[in-house]
Amino acid sequence: MRKTKVIFIKNAITLTVTSLILRAVGMFFRAWLAGAIGSDGIGLYSQIFSVYMLVGGLSSAGINLAVTRLVSEELLLGGRRGAQLVMKRCIFTAAAISGLFAALIFLGADFISLSFIGDARAQSAFKILPFSLPFSAVCACIKGYFMARKKSSPGSVSQLLEQAVRMGIIMSISVKSAQKGLNYACSAVVFGDVAAEISSCTLVYIMYVIDKRKILPKEAQHIKTSELSNKIRHIALPVSVGRGLNSLLRTAESFMIPSGLQRFGMSRDVSLSVFGLVKGMALPLLFFPASLLNALATLLIPEMSEAVAGEKSYKVKYAVEKSLNIILITSIPFSALFFFGADAFGRLIYGDNEVGEMIKLLSPLVPLMYIDSISDGLLKGLDQQNITFRNSIIDSSIRLVLIYFILPSFGTTGFIGIMYLSNLFTALMNLHRLLKVSKAKIDTFKKVVLPLIFALAVTYSSNSFLSLLSLPNLIFTLLFCLFSLSGYALLTMLCGCFGREDL
């Protein structure tokens, strides 16, 4: 086996295991947090966090991609001095931009809380939130560097530390804070987020300082210094602007959804609760199995950049086809699993039947969400970030219009319907572009039709059989997953839908 393939598989395993650990721990932590501050608290925190995602996207989303692609190209062509120059320029840019946004959020905390969120209880959280932005931006740059270096362990270790710090601080102070009111509870959670970002950045920076000494600066510099800023802008600007505008629209959406539900007739706390059930509880569970997806999307960006730089179109086509095959084969059974086992999952993770209802309603979206995510990452690696930007803006604009007009009349039903239309649009648009650019093809019958039939058959059968046994919920859920996934794997391998090469 070639060394590059061994490295890729090793990194994929590292990222997948890390993602599984983080998602599993994060899922139960979120369930604990929902019990501590309530679903309305989760809803308010989700609104606050959407502002963080907005400014975080503007600060570092594009810079992170620019680091990965430019450092990958420099190292491939032997320009190791250029790789260090890229890092210095990108870190400085990310820190400066994020620092500016941090100042704006801090100074405008009262205005944002009252004028946008419409809830004075968010003010103190917005006074704490900005301190994490510079650390988050610098950390994103360094993680992009390690992806270009094809080293996944530094990012994984820093993420594990980040989650440990976050959980330790929030669990130690949020319960007492929640007793004082929702504003104190959200401030405690945000404080834990800030401390976690600082810890993660500090660790990953130390590892970067150690690693960069292995890249001898006296070696060649391929990229011209005069062209560096233009190249960074070419990659980072569309992604940052796209992420920023998309986050802006999604932030507006997070404000408009509770407002629209209130116009439908719900109270402020009930509307926040519905928003928290969907965005803060159901969707994270639906994305839980996507650990392999995250690994592929992250690792394939430098692989695609190197393939394009080396004019290896066959490698691009092969990687895209295999990635899409794996995503389709793995997402379809989880969609069926969540549909038939929604109530069991909701009770097991959150102890809440309402969450189970949301999981069941949203479960058919799983393949679309996963395909959209992997397509977005692959397109960015193929220098198609302008396309993902365009699709994202169109999607968010349509969502806002639909939210404004539909939610006051249809409430939660309208909210779910809008999510279906949105995910279908972005998944199909990004997938169409990816197939066109890469010349890849999908065997629809073997990768979609047969897996869907098998998934529905085994999950329905497993659920029906186990329901007759009156088992405890934990045992039922474990056996349901075991029987369904093993039966599905056996059928897909016997029919040639999933082979040794895919594995």
**pLDDT on residue 476:** 93
Q: Among 233, 253, 273, where does a domain finish?
A: 253
Whether 295 and 249 share a structural domain: no
Within-domain flag for 222: yes
pTM of the model: 0.67
Q: Can you tell me the distance from the alpha carbon of 210 to that of 57, in angstroms, rounded to the nearest whole number?
A: 28
Q: What is the pLDDT of residue 79?
A: 57
- Which pLDDT value is given to residue 225? 59
> Bigger pLDDT: 223 or 41?
41
Say whether both 112 and 239 belong to one domain: yes
The contacts of residue 243 (CB under 8 Å, 6+ apart) are: 57, 58, 61, 62
> In terms of domains, do 431 and 381 share one?
yes
Question: Has residue 388 been placed in a domain?
Answer: yes
What pLDDT digit, counting tens, does each position of 386-415 carry?
Answer: 787 788 888 888 888 888 888 888 888 888
Higher pLDDT, 381 or 210: 210
**Within a domain: 19:** no
Tell whether 249 and 291 lie within a shared domain: no
* Domain extent at residue 232: 38-253
Rounded-to-integer distance, Cα 156 and Cα 17, Å: 9
Residue ending a domain, among 253, 275, 306, is 253
347 and 212 share one domain: no
pLDDT in tens, 69-94: 788 777 776 656 777 788 888 888 88
Same domain, 336 and 468: yes
Q: List pLDDT tens digits, range 419-476.
A: 899 889 988 999 999 888 888 888 888 888 999 999 999 999 999 999 988 889 889 9
Q: Are residues 235 and 314 in the same domain?
A: no
Q: Is residue 338 included in any domain, yes or no?
A: yes
Considering the domain boundaries, does residue 336 fall inside one?
A: yes
Distance CA 490, CA 503 (A): 13
- What tokens does 426 get? 């972005």
pLDDT band for position 182 (cuts 50, 70, 90): confident
Residue 189 forms part of a structural domain: yes
Measured distance CA(182)–CA(41) in Å, rounded: 6
Q: Does one domain contain both 244 and 292?
A: no
Number of domains in the chain: 2
Same domain for 427 and 364: yes
The answer on 224 and 105 residing in a single domain is yes
DSSP 407: H
Which residues have CB under 8 Å from 400's CB, separation 6+?
A: 249, 252, 253, 256
**Tally: H helices and E strands in the chain:** 20, 0
Q: Is the domain of 171 the same as that of 291?
A: no
Domain shared by 188 and 50, yes or no: yes
